[in-house]
Structure 1
Amino acid sequence: MRRFGHCQVDGVWGQIWVKALAGNEFLFLFGNVGLPYMDQLYAKRWTIEQCFQNLKGRGFNLEATHLRCHRKLRKLVALVSLAYALCLSVGTVANAKIKPIARKNHGYRATSLSRHGLNLLRQLTRPHAAPDEPIARKLLGLLDAFSRYLACRQSIKIVG
């Protein structure tokens, strides 16, 4: 890992952070934040980018909407965001306690946590799903707790 302070790239001054990756590849970061924090900020930003990628595609397909009304579009974004959060929560719990995500040869997960949760929730809604399996019981318990939580807070209202 190398850091270079006060560099100019295309007429813009900033700091450069470079890290060697596997397979003779490099990760280059350029910004005007402090060098010690650049990689941490990038990690946080990458989490947000993954969220946007999942909302736009990968099962949620928010970009496929033909809505033009801003009020309805805001409600749709709010509901899809809640669905994404639920799938991410289910995927995180399932990965830790129920069914771990398989790893590929390079060590990364075969699917994301949100996709894992979405796949498990889809399995529960299929006609041939066996609700007596341990995975199904735990997921149904999680969904039941979530619906009870929302029922207790009837003042929650999505306003467009």
Structure 2
Amino acid sequence: AILTYKKRWEIETAFRAMKSSGFNIEDTHMRDMDRIARLVAMVCMALVWAYLVGEHKDINIKPIRILKHGRKEKSLVKYGLEEISTILLRPTYTPKFDVFKFLSCRTFVRLNVFE
């Protein structure tokens, strides 16, 4: 039961990141299933990209602050998404690492994203 709940929690966390906690996918108000499927596929790739950037920044650059209750202040996806958006929206910002290297096909193959 614990393993099943853990998998369910991972799925819920991914949906939260796709919706209210990051990509706001529900704000599109799309109805065409083909378009929705393509959008979800693109958002899934963006979600993996944001996660990898957030994980790298958390481990190698600046750890996410731990709150009093012991959990992180923000998710790895949110942390990565903030870094990516800062790089794209602030041309004078100098990042400490190349976020675009995480878009390499080798990265996604290593993670079995294409399987």
Query: Which 4+ runs in 1 deviate beyond 4 A?
Result: none
Question: Would you say 1:70 and 2:33 are equivalent positions?
Answer: yes
What is the TM-score when the length of structure 2 is the normalising length? 0.81
Higher RCO (CA 8 Å, separation ≥ 6 residues): 2
Larger Rg belongs to: 1
1:54 aligns with 2:12: no
Q: Which runs of 5+ in 2 are unaligned?
A: 107-115
Q: CA deviation at 1:114?
A: 0.4
- Contact 2:53–2:102 at 8 Å: present in 1 too? no
Distance 1:50 1:145 in 2: 21
Task: Tell me how far 1:40 sits from its aligned partner.
Answer: 2.4
CA deviation string 1:5-50 (max 9, x = no partner): xxxxxxxxxxxxxxxxxxxxxxxxxxxxxxxxx2222122111110
Identify unmatched segments of 5+ residues in structure 1: 1-37, 151-160
Question: SS where residue 75 of structure 1 aligns?
Answer: helix
Deviation at 1:75, TM superposition (A): 0.5
Higher strand share: 1
Contact in 2 for aligned 1:91/1:116 (Cα 8 Å): yes
Q: What is the aligned residue count?
A: 106
1:146 corresponds to which of 88, 103, 112: 103
Q: Residue 92 of structure 1 contacts residue 113 of structure 1 at CA under 8 Å; is this kept in 2?
A: yes
Displacement after TM superposition at 1:51 (Å): 0.4
